[in-house]
Amino acid sequence: MNQEEVIKKVRETKILPLTNDYVFKRIFSKDECNSELKDLLEGILGIKIEKVEVKNPEIPKNILDEKLARLDIKAKINDEITLDIEMQTSDEHDLGNRSLVYLSKLISPQLKPGDRYQKLQKTIVIWILNFNYFKTNTYHNIAHMRFDKVEKEKYIDKGYKEENGLVTENAEIHFIELPKFIEKEPGVESKLSQWLWLLVGEGERIKMAEKVNEEVKKAKTELEVMSMDPKEREIYEEREIARWIYYTGLDDAEERGEKRGEKRGEEIGERRGIEKGKKIGRKDGKNEEKREIAKRLLKMGFEIEKICEITELSEEEITKLSKEEI
């Protein structure tokens, strides 16, 4: 799909998709919408929630200039659980490590110098993915810090009828893969499935979910109202198009880099040389494509400082490219 086709598809969207992170945050982080967020989280976590407090409800005032900024929702549940939920539409191939970083950023601020570790609250990171990532047979993976299986030569009979499986209950990560959910095609009996059908935008299932869940109905109505707002549509369209340009550019760069690297590696004639060539080629290709992305972003009116942040190119390089574009 080329850029013109993407723009046409985005602009023809009647109901804004909840899989867009901006739309997701607008619907679920407003104060008056906490009942919907509460119901969604009850479906994901399988617990009763009395209170949800969104810690970062604000949307950047210059959101049109921050088209690639991440928009997650940080919240406190029942005054005792710290949580971060993020909608992720593109596979950046680093989800495992990123999850650890997100989790650590939520945990570390909880303690001040001298505090005892017992003060740590349960911390949860939730990823809603619009792609399949893990080689697992479920659309809802829940990860904890667990002990490995006991090795026979290290076994000691201490008389424990049931061994502890978890190192700690205070760290938890959820991964919900929407394509697997669609493939499973469940009904609307569970609260989680009711919300996931709304997220994926399946019309008939949404109608069924609305009949049994008033919160889903409220969220759908708000989504329809938001979809008729020209300003909201402008922000959605700008984010989708900018993100498509960015991620398509990175994918093209890696593919071109690997092909170039394979050729260089084959000239060496050794397997190790091919792998090394691929690595070098990916790096060269990404650098080349970053410059192409920078040119596109310059045409879209991005500030040089923001382009440096997105592409990791130097201000000098961006300034040079801007002069080339004039």
The domains of the chain are located at: 15-228, 231-325
The rounded mean pLDDT for the chain is 84
d(CA 129, CA 186): 18
Q: What is the pLDDT of residue 14?
A: 82
How much of the chain exceeds pLDDT 70, in percent?
80
Question: For the residues 300-312, what does the mean pLDDT come to?
Answer: 75
pTM confidence score: 0.75
What are the structure tokens assigned to 326, written together?
Answer: 């004039």
pLDDT digits (tens, 9 = 90+) for 14-51: 889 999 999 999 999 977 668 999 999 999 999 999 99
Among 91-95, 129-133, 240-244, the range of highest mean pLDDT: 129-133
DSSP codes joined into one string, 219-230: HHHHHHHHHT-H
d(CA 126, CA 30): 19
Question: For the residues 149-174, what does the mean pLDDT come to?
Answer: 92
| Residue where the block lists tokens 């997105």 | 310
